[in-house]
């Protein structure tokens, strides 16, 4: 892979999650939760030890954060180009049960429903490179893309396809990669937290809201904790790469600790009960009317 590769390293003097690290600094001004499709899959992918015959339909998440620099998008949904092309779908994932509209781009439509244009997104943060999170990256060539270095490096290996990570989604020399080696603030009020396990460089996000909008915040687990069950029962996700269930549970506990220390809710990545409710709550808080 070619293209710009910029290292974003954790702060040396003060860890971005250290108490007091946000004194007199800006936070996030608005949060918009997006649903970029749905995925039908065995619950065992989300919860270690779930009955193999039990299936779930889970929302595919995206999160818009209004920062001082503009809109930051966390995760981008599916790549509709190969979902709708029979030959490409057979090539990349014949067993995928993605649910998207028959026409149009779910990402563009979700943004439009929130009253935001694709061109208004100034940067992207990827929790990881799975096909339901990195598939829409093609819409943002030339804009900064925040990712863990180890995630991108794994994504470029032949093994990655065995774990539903496909280079067609992200291997473009036009991408402006901003690669991190651990926890790092990627925008004012947005800290990426390395939570490896689901994938080798998975990252979750701590969102600190600006005092001007009432303060508070969120800890977005993404696929470190897919469902509320992962959090409340401290049970590993079922889908893992080079990690044990115990290692994944440690990441859940770390996120729970971060959330408790700040008094923030810990939001699971794909919970069909939690996601739509929280999306409505946040739309009401920030006075944004979402269409669709």
pLDDT of residue 12: 45
pLDDT of residue 250: 98
Residue 101 and residue 109 in contact, taking contact as beta carbons nearer than 8 Å: yes
CA–CA distance, 26 with 8 (Å, rounded to integer): 19
CA–CA distance, 292 with 200 (Å, rounded to integer): 36
Residue 45 and residue 253 in contact, taking contact as beta carbons nearer than 8 Å: no
pTM of the model: 0.92
DSSP 173-198: TT-EEEEESSSEEEETTEEEEE-TTS
CA–CA distance, 127 with 46 (Å, rounded to integer): 16
CB-based burial label for 142 (10 Å; 0-12, 13-18, 19+): exposed
Which tokens in the block code for residue 2? 């070619």
Q: What is the mean pLDDT of each run of 10 residues along the chain (292 residues)?
A: 57 60 75 96 97 96 97 97 88 78 91 94 98 97 98 98 96 98 98 98 98 97 98 98 98 98 98 97 85 52
Q: Domain extents for the chain?
A: 4-286
pLDDT of residue 11: 46
DSSP 140-172: GTTSEEEEEHHHHHHHTSGGGGGGT--GGGT--
CA–CA distance, 157 with 165 (Å, rounded to integer): 10
pLDDT of residue 2: 43
Q: Which residue, among 68, 84, 75, has the nearest Cα to 29 in the 3D structure? A: 68
pLDDT of residue 94: 66
Provide the CATH number for the domain formed by 4-286 in this structure. Answer: 3.60.15.10
pLDDT of residue 3: 58
pLDDT of residue 98: 86
Which tokens in the block code for residue 199? 């994938």
pLDDT of residue 13: 47
């Amino acid at each position: 892979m070619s293209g710009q590769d910029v290292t974003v390293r954790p702060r040396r003097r003060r860890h971005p999650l250290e108490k007091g690290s946000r004194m007199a600094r800006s936070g996030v001004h608005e949060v918009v939760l997006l649903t970029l499709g749905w995925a039908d899959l065995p619950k065992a992918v989300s919860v270690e030890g779930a009955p193999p015959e039990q299936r779930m339909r889970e929302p595919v998440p995206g999160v818009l954060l209004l920062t001082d620099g503009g809109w930051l998008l966390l995760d981008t949904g599916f790549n509709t180009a190969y979902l709708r092309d029979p030959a490409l779908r057979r090539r990349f994932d014949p067993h995928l049960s993605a649910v998207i509209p028959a026409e149009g781009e779910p990402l563009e439509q979700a943004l439009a429903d929130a009253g935001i244009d694709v061109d208004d997104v100034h940067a992207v943060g990827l929790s990881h490179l799975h096909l339901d999170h990195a598939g829409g990256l093609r819409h943002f060539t030339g804009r900064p893309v925040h990712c863990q270095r180890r995630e991108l490096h794994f994504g470029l290996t032949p093994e990655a396809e065995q774990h539903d990570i496909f280079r067609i989604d992200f291997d473009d020399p036009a991408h402006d990669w901003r690669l991190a080696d651990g926890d790092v603030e990627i925008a004012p009020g947005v800290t990426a937290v390395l939570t490896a396990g689901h994938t080798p460089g998975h990252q979750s996000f701590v969102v600190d809201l600006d005092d001007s909008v009432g303060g508070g915040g969120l800890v977005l687990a993404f696929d470190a904790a897919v469902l509320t069950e992962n959090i409340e029962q401290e049970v590993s996700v079922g889908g893992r790469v080079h990690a044990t269930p115990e290692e994944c549970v440690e990441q859940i506990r770390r996120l729970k600790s971060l959330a408790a220390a700040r008094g923030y809710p810990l939001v699971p990545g794909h919970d069909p009960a939690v996601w739509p409710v929280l999306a409505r709550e946040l739309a009401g808080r920030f006075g944004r009317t979402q269409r669709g």
